[in-house]
């Protein structure tokens, strides 16, 4: 049995126009210590799927099984952290208090001084040693997200659920935090298992062991997994010059644009990539983020 298993997940929502079917028959198996990214268009149901995987929302059918510490968990697992796109910090608390609250909830028996030491350690790891006592309103967007990442790691999680954690940031800050996240995952004493939701193919390649594209909704599901056998640490320059990275990006973008164009076909390893409706060679074609459905159909 895999460490995390999603079996036959389906989800729909009632609307004024009738039922909106978001997910259908989604299956996923993640091994312990693996970093998996799910890439797809905005509105395809990626965040809904992550919320179901993390036990924050119930699916209409199917089940989520997480095997941790020799037991099977249903619902939000013990020693799991979620990083959202919108920071989710308490505005009346300082950076260190926002982190300490999470540490206290995970380690209630620890004395307050030890909780503060743990919080300080992880804030310093993300470069916020000089901003421990600043409130979120005194921090930039990138600094707030660093607090959120420090909070997630300070509880020493076994599992990380990441819901487009850098989506609201500028490109330079986003790149820096991607590197910080990769570094912190590798610095933990034990391997962390991570599921990342993103609409950036490059981000997925930079961080992941495997990438799964999500089909366009309604009734979205996961496409075939693409392995990322690239050495770590990785950099954006590697993605530009490494032929394997170029091929991985081409396969993912071809699959996604194929569904956006209505073809609904899986990519073939020997086919040229189709990006924004145009064929490309195996040379680098920079796609930072997946286009919207309207752009793909233009």
| Of 149, 247, 163, 245, residue with least CA distance to 198 | 163
Question: Where in the chain are all domains bearing CATH 3.40.50.300?
Answer: 4-79+157-297
| pLDDT higher than threshold 50 for residue 122 | yes
pLDDT at 241: 84
Q: For residues 217 and 215, which has the higher predicted lDDT (pLDDT)?
A: 215
Task: For 151, list phi and psi in degrees, rounded to 5.
Answer: -60, -40
| Of 132, 111, 107, residue with least CA distance to 122 | 132
Say if strands 4-15 and 18-30 run parallel, antiparallel, or are unpaired: antiparallel
Q: Tell me what the mean pLDDT of segment 277-297 comes to.
A: 38
pLDDT tens-digit readout, 158-205: 899 999 988 778 888 888 888 888 888 877 767 789 999 998 898 999
CA distance 11 to 21: 6
For the domain covering 4-79+157-297, report its CATH number: 3.40.50.300
CA distance 35 to 192: 8
Residue 163 CA neighbour count, 13 Å, CB half: 20
User: Percent of the chain scored above 90 by pLDDT?
Assistant: 44
CA distance 151 to 236: 26
pLDDT tens-digit readout, 17-65: 888 899 999 999 999 999 999 998 888 899 999 999 988 888 899 988 8
Q: For residues 273 and 189, which has the higher predicted lDDT (pLDDT)?
A: 189
């Amino acid at each position: 049995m895999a460490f995390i298993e999603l079996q036959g997940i389906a989800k729909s929502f009632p609307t004024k126009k009738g039922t909106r079917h978001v997910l259908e028959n989604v299956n996923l198996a993640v091994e312990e210590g693996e970093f998996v990214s799910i890439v797809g268009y905005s509105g395809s149901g990626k965040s809904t799927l992550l919320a179901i995987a993390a036990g924050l929302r119930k699916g209409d059918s199917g089940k989520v099984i997480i095997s941790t510490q020799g037991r099977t968990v249903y619902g939000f697992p013990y020693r799991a952290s979620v990083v959202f796109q919108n920071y989710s910090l308490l505005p009346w608390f300082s950076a260190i208090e926002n982190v300490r609250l999470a540490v206290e909830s995970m380690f209630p028996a620890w004395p307050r001084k030890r909780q503060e030491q743990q919080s300080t350690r992880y804030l310093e790891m993300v470069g916020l040693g000089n901003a421990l006592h600043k409130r979120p309103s005194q921090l930039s967007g990138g600094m707030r997200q660093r607090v959120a990442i420090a909070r997630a790691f300070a509880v020493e999680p076994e599992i990380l659920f990441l819901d487009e954690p850098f989506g609201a940031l500028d490109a330079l800050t986003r790149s820096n935090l991607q590197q910080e996240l990769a570094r912190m995952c590798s610095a933990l004493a034990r391997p962390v298992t991570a599921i990342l939701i993103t609409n950036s193919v490059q981000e997925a390649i930079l961080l992941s062991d495997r990438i799964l594209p999500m089909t366009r909704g309604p009734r979205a599901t996961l496409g075939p997994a693409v392995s990322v056998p690239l050495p770590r640490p990785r950099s954006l320059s590697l993605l530009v010059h490494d032929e394997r990275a170029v091929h991985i990006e081409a396969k993912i973008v071809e699959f996604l644009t194929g569904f956006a164009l209505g073809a609904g076909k899986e990519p073939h390893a020997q086919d040229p990539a189709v990006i924004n409706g145009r064929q490309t060679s195996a040379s680098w074609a920079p796609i930072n983020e997946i286009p919207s459905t309207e752009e793909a159909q233009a």
